[in-house]
Amino acid sequence: MDEASELQRNVHWKMAVWALRVGFVAVAAILVGVIVLSSGGTPWVLAAGVIFWLACAVVIATGFLLTLHDLPEPRPGFWSMRFTLIHDTVRVRSSASRS
């Protein structure tokens, strides 16, 4: 079994990858919120970023675990799947390789 191609076809895996990509935006909002808070501003930006990240974390975990459940035996290890998730999240594919 080619694990990478198997994961690329899994809907739950795609959901986890996109949730992590959106989660990076939430982390950026958290960093902006910390800067605003340290300069005497309101904590609302920080709170919104944290809530947004927690929502993304739930979607990431759900997609990850559903993907793990969908894969046939022998399943890949937990750490290798985590690193594959990070790799797939930051990887940029050209439109020619998508087809």
Residue 20 near residue 56 (C-beta atoms within 8 A): yes
What pLDDT does residue 62 have? 94
Structure-block tokens of residue 16: 């986890």
Cα distance between residue 67 and residue 51, in whole Å:
24
- pLDDT of 81 reads 84
Q: What's the N-to-C CA distance of the chain in angstroms?
A: 21
pLDDT at 10: 82
**Taking the complete model, does pTM exceed 0.85, yes or no?**
no
Per-domain residue ranges of the chain: 15-89
Type of residue at 65 = L
pLDDT tens, per residue, the chain with 99 residues: 456 677 778 888 889 999 999 999 999 999 999 999 999 888 899 999 999 999 999 999 999 999 888 888 887 888 888 888 888 888 766 444 554
The single-letter DSSP state of residue 85 is: H
